[in-house]
Structure 1
Amino acid sequence: MDFNFNGLNEEEVTRSRELNGNNEIIEQKSETFLKKFLGNFNDPMIKILSVCCILLLVLSLFGIIKMIEPVSIAMAIFVATIVSTLNEYSSGKKFRSLQEEANKILVKVYRNNNVKEILIDEIVVGDYVLLNSGDKIPADGIVVYGHFKVDNSVLNGESDENPKQPVTDDTVLDDKIDFTHPNKTYRGAVVSHGEGVIKIEKVGMQTVNGIMMQNMNIEDTPSPLQIKLSDLAAKISKIGYMGAILIGILNFLYTSLHLNDPSVFFTAANSLEIAKTALNSLIYAVIIIVMAVPEGLPLMIAIVLSQNMQKMLKDNVLVRKLVGIETAGSLNILFSDKTGTITKGRLEVILFQNGSFDSYKEYAEIPDELRKLVNTAISKNTSSMIAENGAIIGGNSTERSILGFIDRNEIDDNIEVKTKQVFNSTNKYSASELDSNLNLTFYKGAPERLLEKCTTYYDNDGNKQAFTKKPDITKVIDDLAKKSIRVLALTVSDKKLTEDVVPEEMTFLGILGIRDDIRPEAVKAIEEVMTAGIQVIMITGDRKETAMAIAKDSGLLTSDKEVVLTSDELQTMSDEEIKKVLPDVRVIARALPMDKFRLVGLAQELGLVAGMTGDGVNDAPALKRSDIGFAMGSGTEIAKEVGDIIILDDNFQSIEKAVLYGRTIYNNIKKFLKFQLNINISAVLISVIAPFTGVQNPLTILQILWINMIMDTLAALALGGEPALSEYMKERPKSRSEKIVSKSMSTAIFWTGIWTTIISILFLKLDIFRNLFADEIHHLTAYFCLFVFSGLFNGFNVRSDKINVFSNLSLNPNFLKVFALIFIIQIVLVYIGGEIFRTVPLSVSEWLVIFGLSVLIIPVDMIRKLIFPAKTYNK
């Protein structure tokens, strides 16, 4: 570069920073650990548990119940909230560390008549920044020197390179944001070719990036799971309170009416006894409320989200918000970027075809003699070069992709370029005359410019043959163009290079097909996601023909009924018209930022759980508005700031994994609910029915709290570790309004709940069971264990909807360990519980009776699975 900019001196830098600030992009203020912790108390289940805890605490302060009871509930609340908070905080730290790395970018600027490198945040208005190919533009500015092209895809989604040129004395600039303006540059764009100097006009929060960051004030949408759990909590509260009142009244009546002389009991003289009886009934009612609420659910959710967050990080999925994992599993519709997500995000040669109509996808597949010619034609006729570390630098993206096609180890360094002609838009070709024994000139350019001059072609052995099938090659080129594959022709002449002249009688070497090709793994991932019932809509800034070609090759477009729309067409349609056609839409071409935002909102109005992928400034509003935003790891700070999940490898396959993990979490939560609600419902039913059968308090208050504690917390650990199964991807997606406790779940819960109630009443009342035990206290101890063990064996039932309750058990080794631990703890409690827990040691024969009856719940539920098979998969 033959120019000289003195740049700012230190005094001018200080003054500029005082007037306009520095170049720091201030992120949305992250929540403190304490604020996150307190915010987690808004969980609907936590709210109910907190009320129960307060009620029990009041009773314990008056000495009515033991302090251990409210303490156990408080511990469950604390552990659940602290686990959730710790994981969100740690993922936030991981995200901030990624952002800190982004802020360590060094930028070349002119300062004090020298070029120096400074951190991107230190740039100020008035700085002259030197840009080379591959550099990210650090702030908004105007071009003052040089000619270069920039990739604006992170700003406007367009993959086309945009040329930039210096301002002149006649240039009139306004404040309008125009990413394609030839004189304006914006933070985040990448220099794809050439070099130049820009003068910084706006920095930090005044840049387009900064303005977008300030506008990210859209309220977070409640996740589908939060909506479902709120609904469940409301129902549990209603049922629990109604049940508690009924059981409290029944308990009071049973106690008072079973005295020696009930008529004497209801007198003023016995008001103290009446009050005590009423108080005991109230306590029992409160315990029933506690029993009705699955307080292990928040803990279970926190544990399972934590476990899967770590697994997902290994799969290049960074979860910024834990709730984002389960939301991914509830997706109905996904709006996906094309570039870098479905495609590789870079141009590459995807085929070479010679004059014999032999096509090769890989360079190594080309026959030896022909391959030598192809290597020379590419390596000696390029504006790119290979650096010492093997990286391809210089040139535009097309030149780099072509040079990347060949094996660099086969390049003949003895062949020198005698003279060359660079590509320009007028000639549409480049050429190199080689000074070697070859005495050939190699041409590379537009087929329509070179093909007509060819009279011969090289066969696979490198011999010249008469070129008689030129029209057939033209047809091949046209077919490739329909697939949005750019084609360049390679030709050879034995004549010397004459500037701006294409020689006659050239030899056709072959054509190169170039495209930002589809990720091979993305095709399978798209198929998996679509099989999961999720509608995928590709949104791209590309023209309609290119978008359709990519969509067909990736498996998104499979029939004529599916719809492809452009942004212009969207603008002419009303919201209602779009809603009608949305289920059939597969591609949006030439998309604008407002299109993405609008489509996400309309999908949500249809009751769909909407996801959005994005990496640029233009994607940020839609990422924020969506139920779950997948930000790309290579994207802008704004996109990552508003995203719920960051896809570190920019790969659609990682989105598929996020969906699988989300569905796994959802299924594990449902398993836990089936397990826990069975216990809760049977406990409430037994408490209601028992007084009418002459059995008062078959389970003591402390026993109920004990069951609640071990079943909730330990079972959460066991069921939370259930593995991610590929079969979950065959399930239909859950709608936003769908209840978490489905009809099939309700059937399973009530089936085993009714069985547990029936076997409990029979066990408590029939002499055939009572006579198997030494006395009443042994009988009640046995029932306490029977209730616990029946619930535990039901854990095998809830693991799978299949008849085989042991399926995939080896994939969750903690399940057997935790359940064995509960068995051991329960047995030990029988021997040490004494009067506190109303237990006495049991004999071997008594233990065998308990085990035999409790394990019956497994075959009983198998019958239910045969009668009411689960309808899980898409058909």
Structure 2
Amino acid sequence: MTYRGLTTAEAEASRRIHGANVLPEPARLTFGQAFLETFRDPMIRILLVMVALMVTMYFVGYAEIYEPVGTIVTVLIVATVTARTSLTSDDEYHALRARTAKDRAKLRRDGGLHVLPVDEIVVGDLVILQGGDKIPADGVLISGDLRVSNAALNGETEECHKRADAAAVFPEKTTGDTFVDGTTLFRGSVVFDGEGLLQVCRVGTATMMGQMASEMQAREPASPLQVKLAKLADQISAFGYISGIVIVALYMMFFALRAGGIEAYVLLGWGQVLVDVIEAVSLAILIIVCAVPEGLPLMISIVLMQNTSRMLSRGVLVRRAVGIETAGALNILFSDKTGTITGGRLSVVEFFTADGTVYGADLLAGETVLAAQLRRAIGRNTASMYDESGAVVGGNPTDQAVMYALGEKNCRALQADETSQAGQRQTFNSVNKFSQAELPARGIVVYKGAPEVLLARAQYALDAAGNVVPYDADALTETINAYAARAMRVLAFGYSASAFHTNEVNADTVLIGFAAIRDDVRPEARAAIAEVQAAGIQVVMVTGDRRETAVAIARDAGLLRADGELVLT
């Protein structure tokens, strides 16, 4: 069945009716909000109480007016500086979000394939889903077969099997059973395996994730610095209460002893006692006020503002100034490899066969038996595809790398070749570590996956001339390890003349060849890692690559400098 999707006019009409596929974002901070937020600080509240007491004492003649006025000016300066710092960080944060690349999805529109930001998806759109894709909206599966993970929504790590039903209807009420039913898909879930077509039924805040995002617009937890300042404020308050009581008690005892005892003191009259009480309380307040560090909030605000500006000038955005103290206490920094330490774009460097013959990335342009088999193993067994603009879309970065190596011309030719049409398919996943596709017209199944998976089953391989010959497994393993030592990922290709079997590589598989793929270390990453390490911070790289590949990248990035340093697998 051919799916054309919505037309542009229908998509616009749907957007007007159902809204855009946009999740709620934190509201922009205003100066007034940031200014008032300062008065939540316990230290500022203590200063305000102190101002109220000093004003009271001024009216009874026990304090000068410049004392409360000076404290009020200090509080206003603190609030202004803090608000300005918070406002600058918030503006930079929203500007950064606007510049950040948004998630994109593949969908059918106007009868063609388009890759659009997920924000532009509307109710009624048909979205193409493949292994590794994040589902962009709520809807039902109308074509294909998927295994998805709903862990981001319900915390359950067990994958759910979804089967297509063209007549499926999105349920009005979502329950726990809805997550595991046969057809319903939710935004935020991840496709673990398979391919399918999602018909969008809910977008934006109407999605399950949108509702969760709306409910989670809660106040952020206090930072370690705020916790410490709150503790200090509590200690100052406790000191003030205890000191005040002790001072008043001692002062009243002094008055009583001076009068000749408690009875004699009472005989002086309650008017005199009240005057003495006011004097004692005033003295206690003066002593407590002197003990309050009214300059501390101002000093903290100025230091945080300077540090925030300094880090921003170096390209580091600190959204909450009070978080700088936490960053200053950093001991270990965990970093992803792909896209952070490395550039995030894989490309095929060269191909090689089991007998050790090496070819350039242009091998697939040739007309040899080896090139033809590789073209089929890539073009008919890869989750990526070329869109109408000639860009590779879909699939994981490895799929995209080999699809770019195949080229749009070869890909289109395979799509038009009746003898190379695929039947049953199984996409790559992290458990099986291979993908396979049946080519019924040719009577073969083609494989693409981790070398160790195909080597465990294959007994023969193609040589440079395209002949099926035995191969030296030990020598081939050494070759693969040598590529891994050069920070290259190796992908194996093979074919079998036996029937298609799910989750299994056939025992008669013949190795076609191998692709060496590389993602280079970012030049700026080396300098950044060296600078962080010089500051006494340990940097740990986290990756799903082979040990040899991870070690090579780590050495190239400057993370591993000695053989004795630890590598965990």
SS of 2:346 mapped into structure 1? strand
Residues 397-476 of structure 1 aligned to structure 2 (within 5 Å):
397-403=397-403, 421=420, 425=425, 428=436, 445=448, 448=454, 452-454=459-461, 456=463, 469-474=472-477
Note if contact 1:445-1:489 (Cα within 8 Å) is conserved in structure 2: yes
Partner residue, 1:51: 49
Whole-angstrom CA distance in 2 between matches of 1:44 and 1:553: 48
Partner of 1:322: 321
Distance in 2 separating the partners of 1:13 and 1:510: 47
Q: Residues 32 and 167 (structure 1 numbering): CA distance in 2 closer, same or farther, change over 3 Å?
A: same
Gap change, CA 1:346 and 1:357, over 3 Å in 2: farther
User: CA offset at residue 74 of structure 1?
Assistant: 0.9
TM-fit CA distance, 1:35: 4.6
2:125 aligned partner:
128
Give the Å deviation of 1:209. 0.9
How does 1:826-841 map onto structure 2 within 5 Å? none
SS of alignment partner, residue 222 of structure 1 = coil
Shift of 1:45: 2.0
Q: 1:306 to 1:232 in 2, by over 3 A?
A: same
Q: Write out aligned runs for 1:436-835 (5 A).
A: 445=448, 448=454, 452-454=459-461, 456=463, 469-474=472-477, 487-489=490-492, 510-512=514-516, 521=525
Q: How does 1:350-429 map to 2 (within 5 A)?
A: 354=352, 370=360, 373=363, 382-383=378-379, 392-393=392-393, 397-403=397-403, 421=420, 425=425, 428=436
Q: CA 1:522/1:295 → structure 2, altered by over 3 Å: closer, same or farther?
A: farther
Asked if residue 143 in structure 1 is aligned to residue 141 in structure 2, the reply is: yes
The match for 1:82 among 80, 83, 108 is: 80
Equivalences, count: 496
Distance in 2 between residues matched to 1:110 and 1:425, nearest whole Å: 21
Aligned residue identity for 1:76: T
User: Residue in 1 aligned with 2:213?
Assistant: 213
Partner of 1:201: 201
Checking the alignment, whether the CA contact within 8 Å between 1:223 and 1:327 is kept in structure 2 is: yes
| CA distance in structure 1 between the aligned counterparts of 2:243 and 2:520, rounded to whole angstroms | 63
1:727 is matched with none
C-alpha spacing 1:203/1:102, structure 2 compared with 1 (3 Å): farther
Check whether the contact 2:459–2:510 (CA below 8 A) recurs between aligned residues: no
Shift of 1:242: 7.1
**Partners in 1 of 2:120 and 2:513 — Cα distance?**
52
CA 1:451/1:164 → structure 2, altered by over 3 Å: closer, same or farther? same
Q: Which residue of 2 aligns with 1:593?
A: none
2:531 & 2:355 partners in 1: Cα distance? Answer: 32
Q: How does 1:280-299 map to 2 (within 5 A)?
A: 288-299=287-298
Partner of 2:35: 37
Question: In 2, are the aligned partners of 1:193 and 1:394 still within 8 Å (CA)?
Answer: no
Whether contact under 8 Å (2:106, 2:115) holds in the other structure is yes
How far apart, in 1, do the equivalents of 2:228 and 2:5 lie?
62
After superposition, the Cα gap between the structure-2 partners of 1:181 and 1:327, relative to the gap in structure 1 and judged at 3 Å, is: farther
The 1:487/1:153 distance shift into structure 2, 3 A limit, reads farther
Checking the alignment, whether the CA contact within 8 Å between 1:421 and 1:430 is kept in structure 2 is no
Give distance in 1, aligned partners of 2:11 and 2:392: 37
SS in 2 for 1:319: coil
**CA–CA distance in structure 1, aligned partners of residues 29 and 200 of structure 2:** 33
Aligned equivalents of 1:292, 1:14: Cα separation in 2: 62
- Residues 84 and 389 of structure 1, relative CA distance in 2, 3 Å threshold: farther
Counterparts of 2:155 and 2:552, CA distance in 1 = 20
CA contact (8 A) 1:224 1:330 kept: no
Partner of 1:187: 187
TM-superposed CA distance for 1:25, in Å, is: 3.1
- Which stretch has the larger CA shift, 318-327 or 285-294? 285-294
Tell me whether 1:167 sits opposite 2:171 in the alignment: no
Contact 1:141 1:202 in 2 (8 A): yes
Gaps (5+ residues) in structure 1?
A: 253-267, 359-365, 432-442, 565-585, 588-875
> Contact between 2:140 and 2:183, CA under 8 Å: does it hold in 1?
yes
- CA contact 1:107–1:129 (8 Å) conserved in 2: no
Q: Contact between 2:142 and 2:167, CA under 8 Å: does it hold in 1? A: no
Amino acid aligned to 2:232:
L
* TM-fit CA distance, 1:304: 2.6
Shift of residue 398 of structure 1?
2.8
| Structure number having the greater helix percentage | 1
Shift of 1:141: 0.6
Amino acid at match of 1:319: V
Are residues 185 and 455 of structure 1, via their aligned partners in 2, closer, same or farther at CA, if it must alter by over 3 Å? closer
**TM-aligned CA distance change 1:471 to 1:48, over 3 Å:** same
Q: Which amino acid aligns with 1:512?
A: A
Q: Shift of residue 400 of structure 1?
A: 0.9
The alpha-carbon deviation at position 71 of structure 1 amounts to: 1.6
CA deviation profile, 1:619-660 (whole Å, cap 9, x unmatched): xxxxxxxxxxxxxxxxxxxxxxxxxxxxxxxxxxxxxxxxxx
Supply the AA of the counterpart residue of 2:51: C
Question: 1:289: Cα distance to partner?
Answer: 3.7
How far is the alpha carbon of 1:226 from its aligned partner? 2.2
Query: 1:768 corresponds to which residue?
Result: none
Cα-to-partner distance string for 1:818-869 (whole Å, 9 max, x where unaligned): xxxxxxxxxxxxxxxxxxxxxxxxxxxxxxxxxxxxxxxxxxxxxxxxxxxx
| Aligned CA distance change for structure 1 residues 177 and 112 (closer, same or farther; 3 Å) | farther
For the Cα contact (< 8 Å) 1:348–1:405, is it kept in 2? no
The C-alpha deviation readout for 1:96-125, integer Å capped at 9, x for no partner, is 556677899999999999999999778765
Report the equivalent of 1:823. Answer: none
Q: How far apart are residue 163 of structure 1 and its match?
A: 9.6
Alignment partner, residue 862 of structure 1: none
Q: Does 1:308 align with 2:312?
A: no
Gaps of 5+ in 2: 253-267, 427-434, 440-445, 501-505
Q: 1:201 to 1:231 in 2, by over 3 A?
A: same
Partner amino acid for 1:87? T
Q: TM-score, normalised by structure 1?
A: 0.41
Matches of 1:344 and 1:401, distance apart in 2: 15
Asked whether the equivalents of residues 145 and 166 of structure 1 are also in contact (C-alpha less than 8 Å), the reply is yes
Contact map agreement 1:129 1:200 (CA 8 A) in 2: yes
Partner of 2:430: none
Distance 1:167 1:515, change over 3 A: farther
State whether residues 491 and 510 of structure 1, in contact with CA within 8 Å, keep that contact through their aligned partners in structure 2. no
- State the SS of the aligned residue for 2:81: helix
Change (3 A) 1:209 1:526: farther
Contact in 1 for aligned 2:151/2:157 (Cα 8 Å): yes
| 2:350/2:360 contact within 8 Å kept | no
* 1:450-494 alpha-carbon deviations (Å, 9 max, x no partner): 964336459xxxx99x9863432146659999xx997423689xx
1:228 corresponds in structure 2 to 228
> Residues 487 and 100 from structure 1, CA distance in 2 versus in 1: closer, same or farther, beyond 3 angstroms?
closer
Name the CA distance, whole Å, in 2 between partners of 1:70 and 1:35: 25
SS of structure 1 residue aligned to 2:216? coil
Q: CA deviation at 1:317?
A: 4.3
Deviation at 1:234, TM superposition (A): 3.7
Amino acid at match of 2:50: C
| Mapped contact 1:163–1:182 kept (Cα < 8 A) | yes
Counterpart amino acid of 1:399?
D
Q: Does residue 1:67 correspond to 2:71, yes or no?
A: no
Mapped to 2, the partners of 1:536 and 1:236 lie a distance apart of 41
Q: Note the C-alpha offset of 1:52.
A: 2.5
Structure 1 residues 60, 370: CA separation in 2 closer, same or farther (over 3 Å shift)?
same
Q: Deviations over 1:645-682 (max 9, x none)?
A: xxxxxxxxxxxxxxxxxxxxxxxxxxxxxxxxxxxxxx
TM-score (norm 2): 0.58
Partner SS, residue 491 of structure 2: strand
